[in-house]
Amino acid sequence: MLQSIKCIGILTSGGDAPGMNAAIRAVTRSAIFNDIKVKGIYRGFKGLLTGEIEDFKTNSVSNIIQRGGTVLKSARCDEFLNKEGRKVAFENMRKHEIDALVVVGGDGSLTGAAIFAQENNIPIVGLPATIDNDLMGTDVTIGYNTALNTIVDAVDKIRDTASSHERLFFIEVMGRNCGALALNSAIAAGAEAAIIPEISIEKDQLHEFISQGFRKSKNSSLVLVAESEITGGALQLAERVKNQYPQYDVRVSILGHLQRGGSPSAQDRILASRMGYAAIQALQEDQRNIMIGIRNEEIVYVPFSKAIKKEKPINPELVELLRVLSI
């Protein structure tokens, strides 16, 4: 182990994701097991600037693995976008004798971590935690499985009322410019279609869906829509249907932030625990500026440059599967 790393700081940043607490627990206990001190940093990078930092012991992370959200909280920090703000954050790191950071978050959080690491020559390891599952280099991110299950449960309930009233429902889910949640939840819930940004760029999915005569054998239809400027979102699509196809009774359900909440699934707890443990192993191996990923059930180290700011492709076989099964 690098003798210079005697204390690590851990923070959660960006949108919360189920399993973040399991990651905090795994990082903390794995570090302590290896005689490394741990400092919990509250409210993400903002806590680094304001000095909201405290010692974490084994019992600091007791009874949190089953909880959603993050006990370390998360917050926006515009000051961290500036070099002067990052300098204050680095000075606070030195003040608290923190030698390395573990950052748990999504694309924006890891982008900030990469810049901070480069400017100050400090070891940082990232854990991919976002329900969007939009980070390259890992098959799945912490929180995605739980969010998927939450969406499917909600869609199952919406189907009951859709069937009762013979309606066309547009159900909007999160994902920004990544359609993984919409596509996979559509398959899992038996929906008729998923309108996702990856395909909206190429063709008019709504027109194709309507023109195929989607109601020829069904008394109701469910369409999952990824929230995105590219797709237009569920409200814009519903308005278009009302104008162009007034014969259909259209309703919209925007699931919103309920997708982020809830107790993490067993899969997310295990994934977060494995990744948290791997983060400490990586630091012991003198790895820096990497994200912990998982590919084919094996832990991998992914350079920040390859994990962030790149679009994660959709599996075309899943698109075809949904098309075939929705007849």
Nearest alpha carbon to residue 186 among 222, 219, 218: 222
Distance separating alpha carbons of residues 20 and 18, to the nearest angstrom: 6
Q: Are 201 and 230 in contact (CB under 8 A)?
A: yes
Nearest alpha carbon to residue 325 among 233, 229, 193: 193
Q: Which two tokens stand for residue 308?
A: 């962030």
Exposed e or buried b per residue across 218-234, where buried means at least 16 C-beta atoms within 10 angstroms of its C-beta: eebbbbbbbbbebbbbb
Distance separating alpha carbons of residues 93 and 112, to the nearest angstrom: 15
Q: What's the residue count for the chain? A: 327
Q: Are 258 and 150 in contact (CB under 8 A)?
A: yes
The verdict on whether 35 is a catalytic residue reads no
In 163-249, DSSP assigns E strands to 168-173, 193-195, 221-226
Contacts of 18 (CB under 8 A, 6+ apart): 68, 69, 131, 142, 143, 146, 147, 260, 261, 262, 263, 264, 265, 268
DSSP 129: B
Pairing between β-strand 298-303 and β-strand 168-173 as defined by DSSP bridges: unpaired
User: Which residue is associated with the tokens 């979102």?
Assistant: 233
Q: Of 16, 99, 132, 134, which one is the catalytic site residue?
A: 132
> Residue 44 half-sphere exposure, CB side, CA atoms within 13 Å?
25
Q: Which two tokens stand for residue 180?
A: 């993984």
The catalytic residue positions are 132
